[in-house]
A and B are shown apart, each in its own frame.
Chain A
Amino acid sequence: MGHTIRIIVNGMSEEVPENATLVFLIELFKEADPALIVEHNGRFVYPQQYDATTVAENDRVEFIHPDFGG
């Protein structure tokens, strides 16, 4: 993990390792949640794709935790 890149996570600029996967980012930002919803550059990503999805400079990632109370 030599280089780092800047990406936007939940609207905030963050420094992360180059080619970080979504699995890595979920761990890094403590977003783990069985119901987690992930958006990558405006695209919805299903959990089975987290491992194969990597981020690049200036990418945008949103983590959403759906709510189930009422």
Chain B
Amino acid sequence: MDGNPFLTEEQKQRYQRQLSIPEIGVDGQIKLGKASVLIVGLGGLGSISSYYLAAAGVGTLRIVDGDEVALNNLNRQILHSTLDLNRPKIESAAEKLHRLNPECRIEPVRARIGEDNGLDLAKGCDLILDATDNLASRHVLNRISLARQIPLIYGGINGWNGTAATFIPGKTCCFTCLFPPKDLRKLEMGIPALGPAAGVIASIQSMEALRILLGLSPKLAGRLLDFQGKEIRFRTIRLEKNPDCKLCGHTKGG
């Protein structure tokens, strides 16, 4: 690494402990620095994934959330603190992320993602990290992922448990293959959520995001990871495209 023109001395120190990981090194670090990630949701999952990705030196994080910090968020949404109550989450998050790593460009967007703004929000991003808390938003993210042809890393939790999967347009099944919109339940409000369950799932999503940005093969592409926190048990199952899927059923892959 000595004399490498692409990393400053400060960067070499900041990222020292990951530069020594064979799959990363200087080249990988530079890749991360050029990458952009869209993180939708700054709650239990987004608190963790945005912090890890900023810390790891991902160049740009576009963070999207329409909510303010509420007291019942703070059992798990550890990017925010009691002092941040009633502040917009994007503002609280941008401040913490900037403090953690001023090199990381934070693009805060105060909005609820939908059909109207989704495509624009994903413009220029290499992947979408799902940190939302409902099915409807995830269907929007899926459509954006397919339209922009960028991976979607899904994660969700319930109580002690959580699930995660990576959807790669044209290669794997899509989110809608698994959960057709007819299954859309009423907006899930107040799903139980334990902090460490969000931590486990968001950490796995972050690892998957870093793999993709580094050009390594995503390990949850076409697989669903199920974490049972009460048993500390992990299962993964292989997913297949749903031939009846209205969104991606006509494209090849499996």
Binding site for B on A (CB under 8 A): 34-35, 37, 39, 42-44, 46, 48, 62, 64-70
- In the bound complex, what is the Cα–Cα distance between A62 and B127 (angstroms)? 30
Which among B163, B237, B243 is the interface contact of A39 at CB below 8 angstroms?
Answer: B237
List the B side residues contacting A39 at CB < 8 Å.
237-238
List the B side residues contacting A42 at CB < 8 Å.
237-238
Q: Which residue of A lies closest to B194 (CB)?
A: A69
A68 touches B156 (CB 8 A): yes
B235 touches A64 (CB 8 A): yes
List the A side residues contacting B138 at CB < 8 Å.
68
A44 touches B162 (CB 8 A): no
Which among B45, B191, B237, B242 is the interface contact of A46 at CB below 8 angstroms?
Answer: B242
A66 touches B238 (CB 8 A): no
A67 touches B240 (CB 8 A): no
A68 touches B135 (CB 8 A): yes
B162 touches A43 (CB 8 A): no
Q: Mind listing 8 A-B residue pairs with CB under 8 Å?
A: A35-B178, A39-B238, A44-B238, A46-B244, A66-B156, A66-B179, A68-B135, A69-B193
A66, A68, A69, A70: residue with the most chain B Cβ atoms closer than 10 Å: A70
Taking CB atoms and an 8 Å cut-off, the chain B residues in 196-254 that contact chain A are: 198, 224, 226, 235, 237-240, 242-244
Chain A nearest CB: distance from B233 CB in Å?
8
A44 touches B237 (CB 8 A): yes
- In the bound complex, what is the Cα–Cα distance between A32 and B233 (angstroms)? 22
